[in-house]
């Protein structure tokens, strides 16, 4: 364990705690951004340079901006209620988390990294885009194409979901739009 691992791990845990404990949703999202960026730093120490870049650009950049947009658009920063109708859910969640951690510790104690064949780490070339692309287009070709179709479906689906039904605008009386414009103008003059 090097100092840089401990630094990034502490930052990741702090970001995760902020994510699950913050009352304000914007703070929670920013905590997750910090967690994602520290995990990207850990990827660099694990010889995954391309994934670290993708993590910062796609995950911490694009996806979290989408989250923050929706939080601010819906004005949902403040929680509606923190009262939980399910009894003992916090205790159940704590027990479940302890079980997961215990299972991880048991698996860790029996985990032995295999002896690497000579030159295996050099063949990874630090996880650069070239070697990853080679694996993606040979062994992972079918998942790669399936994921591209999935992204297309997601784009079309999200557009279809948030589209307003057209009849709302048809039901408006004819003069209403003009009236609102005039009201706006009067407010501006006053």
183 lies in the binding site for other proteins (CB under 8 A): no
How many residues are recorded in the chain?
190
**How far from 42 is each of 34, 53, 95, 155, CA to CA, in Å?**
13, 12, 28, 31
Nearer to other proteins, 4 or 177 (CB): 4
CA distance 23 to 40: 26
Shortest distance, position 172 Cβ to other proteins, whole Å: 18
Show contacts with other proteins in window 63-82 (CB under 8 A): 63, 66-67, 70-71, 73-74, 76, 79-82
DSSP 80: S
The pair of three-digit structure tokens given for residue 42, joined into one six-digit string: 């850990």
CB 25 within 8 A of CB 79: yes
Tokens 């791990």 — which residue?
9
Report the residue from 7, 89, 177, 183 that binds other proteins according to the rule CB under 8 A. 89
Show contacts with other proteins in window 108-167 (CB under 8 A): 108, 111, 113-114, 116-117, 120-121, 123-124, 127, 131-132, 135-136, 139-140, 143-144, 147, 150-151, 153-155, 157-159, 161-162
185 lies in the binding site for other proteins (CB under 8 A): no
Nearer to other proteins, 70 or 177 (CB): 70
């Amino acid at each position: 364990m090097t100092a840089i691992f401990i630094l990034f791990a502490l930052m990741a845990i702090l970001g995760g705690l902020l994510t699950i404990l913050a009352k304000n949703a914007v703070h929670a999202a920013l905590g997750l951004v910090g967690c994602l960026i520290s995990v990207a730093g850990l990827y660099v120490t694990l010889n995954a340079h391309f994934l670290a870049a993708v993590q910062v650009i796609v995950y911490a950049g694009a996806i979290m901006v989408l989250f923050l947009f929706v939080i601010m658009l819906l004005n949902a920063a403040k929680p509606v209620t923190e009262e939980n109708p399910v009894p003992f859910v916090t205790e159940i969640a704590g027990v479940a988390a302890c079980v997961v951690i215990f299972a991880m510790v048991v698996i860790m104690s029996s985990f032995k990294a295999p002896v690497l064949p000579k030159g295996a780490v050099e063949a990874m070339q630090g996880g650069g885009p070239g070697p990853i692309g080679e694996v993606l287009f040979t062994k992972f070709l079918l998942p790669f194409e399936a994921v591209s179709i999935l992204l297309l479906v997601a784009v079309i689906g999200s557009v279809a979901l948030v589209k307003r039904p057209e009849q709302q605008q048809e039901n408006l009386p004819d003069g209403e739009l003009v009236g609102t414009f005039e009201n706006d103008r009067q407010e501006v003059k006053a």
